[in-house]
Amino acid sequence: MIIKLCGMQHADDIKAAEQLGVDLLGFDFIPKSPRYVRMISSRAGIIPDFSEERLRALKQPNSPQQQPVKVGRVGVFADDMPQNIVTRVYNYELDYVQLNGEEPAVTLENLRRSIDPDIRKGIKIIKRIVVDTQADLAKATEYEGKADLLLFHITAKETELQTTGDDNSPLNQLLSTYHGSTPFLISKPNAPFDTLLIKSITHPQFAGINLDTQFELEPGKKDMEQLQKYVEELKAIE
């Protein structure tokens, strides 16, 4: 199961998240967001560490750094100019572009052509879709074959998502109308998904979850202790 952690800003959080076994780290490039990443910093921990000290360590036998943890870097955008996205992909060596706005499928196609292979070979694209009712899942059809991964941001009421511990859970019923072949992550506002609810998901294209504001002490600053407990619970149900 993919675990994606979004809204990263602090180097210590980034390094800690890598050690937790998180698969994808999201960096917010939406200017109005309080988690907006404003500039490249040599201490940001966002781009790979190519310092002389690290390179020397990599040459040492049995160095713990010889097997670096590979965590995918995701840039999050919303209705941004293509040139801005391409620049961030290059500067931050992004592995994924996530589009949170009203971008049509043609935007995904054009972005991929602009970036792959000259700027970032093999770039992956995630399209976020807000899902309040089953009808909203029909929007995913437009991105079939265009997005590598979908993110269903589920805004249905909390009481409508309670698990019954079987295939008929409300969340399974909600997701059942998605018939595409593109794998998807799920996210929700406020509190994180109950791990039992995650365990109950039966959809064959369910690939994992996205976490963002659920484990924050303040915007962009993660509560790593609580996050660690949750990640361990998630990994226990895989």
This model's pTM is above 0.85:
yes
**CATH classification of the domain holding 89:** 3.20.20.70
DSSP letter for each residue of 10-45: -HHHHHHHHHHT-SEEEEE--TTSTTB--S--TTSS
Q: Kindly state whether residue 56 falls inside one of the protein's structural domains.
A: no
Q: Kindly state whether residue 49 falls inside one of the protein's structural domains.
A: no
Q: Kindly state whether residue 72 falls inside one of the protein's structural domains.
A: yes
CA distance 18 to 22: 6
Q: 165: alpha, beta or left, given left = phi > 0 and alpha = psi -120 to 50?
A: left
Q: Kindly state whether residue 89 falls inside one of the protein's structural domains.
A: yes
Q: CB atoms < 10 A from the CB of 56, how many? A: 11
Q: Kindly state whether residue 55 falls inside one of the protein's structural domains.
A: no
Per-residue pLDDT tens over the stretch 125-151: 999 999 998 899 999 999 999 999 999
Per-residue pLDDT tens over the stretch 39-95: 655 445 555 443 444 445 555 665 554 455 579 999 999 999 999 999 999 999 999
Q: Are 89 and 115 in contact (CB under 8 A)?
A: yes
Q: Kindly state whether residue 9 falls inside one of the protein's structural domains.
A: yes
Alpha helices in the chain (DSSP H): 11-20, 52-59, 82-92, 105-115, 170-175, 195-199, 224-236
How many structural domains are present in the chain? Answer: 1
Q: What is the pLDDT of residue 61?
A: 60
The parent domain of residue 81 ranges over 2-39+68-236
Rg, C-alpha atoms of the chain = 18
Amino acid code (one letter) for 72: G
CA distance 167 to 27: 34
Q: Which two tokens stand for residue 32?
A: 């109005």
